[in-house]
Amino acid sequence: MRLITCLLVCALSALSLPALAAQTSGLYQVRTAVPGQQPEERTAALNRALDTLIVRLTGDPAILQSAAVAELHKDPQQLISQFGVEGSVLVVDFDPLTTESRLRQAGLPLWGANRPLLLVWWLNEVDGSSSLVGDGSEQALPVQAAAQNRGLPVSLPLADLQEQLAATPENLAAARADALLPVSQRYAADALLGVTTSAVEGKWQAQWRLWLEDGSEQGAAEAVDPAALADEVMLAVSLRLAPRFIIAPGAAQPLTLVVQGTDLARYAELERLLKPFAARLLQAQGANLTYQLNASPEQLRAQLALGQLREVSAIPAQPVAPLSPLSTDPQQVPGAPLVPVVPRPDVLTFSW
């Protein structure tokens, strides 16, 4: 069920990530400014591109100060499949397999390509008037470029009259997204992001709020121009989202995962979702699959939510009769005592 539909059914009581996540395109391509063609300028730009990619994949700028990243900076081209210059922009394509392997060898946590799709309500306030940024407009370009730079799949509304009336500064700053939900229903999104920007004394400022399944988070940003401001907002949002999905070395534990109701198409989707956990298929019985993997239960739940899987609760207690001397299987009989089934914390069951 879509996030927005689910919320309306639940009387707008909470926002929940539905599982419409996008495979983030261009995750391993970075575009960065390069002032000239001198070797030292190109090397500096390659290192900036590497830093951008590492933050995009780890969700932690502090990692840039680590010895592991310093080692990668000694030869960033070992991770690059190709690069070129477009005007004053260096376009760097990093090799996904090599980069991921080196980062994992360095013990760095990684955020995979399956990321929640954000519907962005971006309101610019200039000279006392407000303008909602619509998909396809010129004002959308810096927002979309910033989202790409920070590894976030986003969509923007059409900005029709009904949406403009709903996207007020008050509604975009509210703790609950109630006012935005009716006009957001037409869009497939996992979460909502509301941003209000303004120019004050030559500086651009933004107030943003991200609505998630367990409430909302908010923050502020400041920059010298709209493009830099959009990048600051998207960076802040990515850093809030990353801990929900990051696969951190040492935080995982052995888990058994049972997935019910799987067909061929769903099996392919499941393999993609479980890739960050190095899952191993143990058993396939009918439409049920059993995997062994290493993960934290919370991050596994967050990852599977991106694929529209729902967790199956523990089996209710069953009436069971005592074993007879000649039987090895208990028989369920009406009126027999209830024998509770104790859930195992290392076994998680999900269904499509």
Count the alpha carbons within 13 Å of 126 in the hemisphere toward its beta carbon. Answer: 10
User: Are 27 and 56 contacting, i.e. CB atoms less than 8 angstroms apart?
Assistant: yes
Residues 266, 224 within the same domain = no
Asked whether residue 167 is assigned to any structural domain, the reply reads yes
Co-location of 296 and 235 in the same domain: no
Tell me, what's the pLDDT at 339? 45
Within a domain: 13: no
Which of 105, 132, 160 is the last residue in one of the domains?
105
Q: Are residues 90 and 129 in the same domain?
A: no
Supply the CATH number for residue 290's domain. 3.30.70
181 within domain boundaries:
yes
Mean pLDDT, the chain, rounded, equals 86
| Residue 62 located in a structural domain | yes
Count of helices and strands (H, E) across the chain? 11, 18
Whether the pLDDT of residue 189 is over 50: the answer is yes
Residue 110 lies in a domain: no
Share of the chain above pLDDT 90, in %: 63
Domain boundary among 44, 77, 105: 105
Domain boundary among 105, 137, 158: 105
Which amino acid is located at 247 in the chain?
A: I
289, 259 contact by CB (below 8 A): yes
Residues 218 and 273 in one domain: no
Same domain for 238 and 217, yes or no, is yes
Residues 139 and 225 occupy one common structural domain: yes
Name beta bridge partners: 200: 203
CATH number at residue 150: 3.90.950
Angle at 68 between CA 65 and CA 71, to 5 degrees: 100
117, 21 Cβ separation under 8 angstroms: yes
Cα 91–Cα 96–Cα 99 angle in degrees, nearest 5: 95
> Model pTM greater than 0.85?
no
DSSP code of residue 242: G
36 and 149 part of one domain: no
Report if residue 10 sits inside a domain: no
Q: Are 179 and 267 part of one and the same domain?
A: no
Say if residue 42 is in the same domain as residue 132: no
Asked whether residue 138 falls in the same domain as residue 226, the answer is yes
**What is the Cβ-side half-sphere exposure of residue 324, based on CA atoms within 13 angstroms?**
4
Query: What pLDDT, in 10s, does the model give residues 54-112?
Result: 999 999 999 999 999 999 999 999 999 999 999 999 999 999 999 999 998 898 888 98
Structure tokens at 27: 């995750």
Q: Which residues contact 98 (CB under 8 A, 6 or more apart)?
A: 78, 79
Percent of the chain with pLDDT over 70: 84
Residues 169 and 283 in one domain: no
Domain count, the chain: 3
Task: Look at residue 335 in the predicted model and tell me its pLDDT.
Answer: 53
Assigned token pair, 274: 């479980």
38 pLDDT higher than 50: yes
Residues 225 and 148 in one domain: yes
How many Å is the Cα radius of gyration of the chain? 24
Confidence of residue 21 (pLDDT cuts 50, 70, 90): low
Q: What is the mean pLDDT of residues 144-159?
A: 97
At 300-335, the pLDDT tens digits run 888 898 888 999 975 544 444 454 444 444 455 555
pLDDT in tens, 204-234: 999 999 998 778 999 999 999 999 999 999 9
Whether residue 92 lies inside any domain: the answer is: yes
Domain around 64: 29-105
Torsion on CA atoms 17, 22, 23, 28, rounded to nearest 10: -90
Query: In sequence order, which ranges of the chain are alpha helices (DSSP H)?
Result: 3-9, 39-58, 67-73, 96-105, 140-149, 161-166, 169-173, 181-184, 226-241, 264-274, 297-305
Confidence of residue 16 (pLDDT cuts 50, 70, 90): very low
